[in-house]
């Protein structure tokens, strides 16, 4: 597909390897993942002071500043339903009711473990979920190294053309 627009193999790799982040071949990846090279090229890749986790801490802080409340160490056991509607959640065995529930847990876990009523899972039955294949994401090494490496920029990518594309990203 990409080769029909760009004959240059390096450019093809640069703009197509991002689906490997989710363990899917560029030939099979959803076009949605074009967002990643688009963002890289238009806005650049940045490193947050203190690391990526600073983003999470800052967003939690913003939410609390807006008046929201975060309950930590609060394990949601179930999403509670009644009359085909979600009515609340069960946290460590305690029922909490709400007008709306938004669940951001991993989908296969949430739909099979948190929803009790088989009829409310729609087409995502336990059998269907169990049959689904998982793809491998990146192989990631965390290296603690001494010194500084000014020749390496944030998110430096080294592409190597073997039989498949092997991207290496430095963060």
Partner 1 sequence: MGGLSAAIRLQNEGYDVEVYEKESIPGGKMHQIKTGGYTFDVGPTLVQIK
Pick 44 or 67: Cβ nearer partner 1: 67
Pick 7 or 93: Cβ nearer partner 1: 93
| Cα 103–Cα 129–Cα 91 angle in degrees, nearest 5 | 30
Torsion of CA 139, 140, 141, 146, to 10 degrees: 140
How far, CA to CA in Å, does 60 sit from each of 63, 96, 104? 5, 21, 15
Smallest separation (angstroms) from partner 1 to the CB of 7: 30
Pick 114 or 166: Cβ nearer partner 1: 114
Smallest separation (angstroms) from partner 1 to the CB of 140: 6
Nearest Cα neighbor of 98 from 116, 114, 85 is: 85
The residues of the shown chain that bind partner 1, judged by CB under 8 A, are 22-24, 50-53, 55-57, 59-60, 62-63, 66-76, 89, 91, 96, 98, 100, 102, 104, 106-108, 132-138, 140, 142, 144, 171
């Amino acid at each position: 597909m990409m080769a029909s627009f760009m004959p240059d193999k390096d450019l093809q790799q640069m703009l197509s390897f991002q689906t490997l982040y989710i363990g899917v071949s560029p030939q099979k990846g959803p076009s949605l993942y074009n967002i990643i090279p688009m963002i890289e090229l238009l806005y650049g890749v940045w490193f947050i002071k203190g690391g990526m986790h600073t983003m999470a801490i800052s967003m939690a802080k913003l939410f609390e500043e807006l008046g929201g409340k975060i309950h930590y160490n609060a394990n949601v056991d179930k999403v509670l339903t009644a009359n085909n509607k979600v009515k609340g959640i069960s946290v460590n065995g305690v029922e909490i009711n709400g007008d709306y529930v938004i669940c951001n847990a991993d989908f296969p876990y949430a739909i099979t473990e948190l929803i009790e009523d088989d009829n409310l899972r729609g087409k995502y039955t336990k059998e269907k979920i169990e049959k689904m294949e998982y793809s491998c994401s990146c192989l990631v090494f965390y290296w603690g190294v001494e010194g500084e490496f000014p020749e390496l920029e944030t998110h430096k990518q080294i592409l190597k053309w073997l039989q498949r594309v092997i991207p290496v990203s430095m963060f």
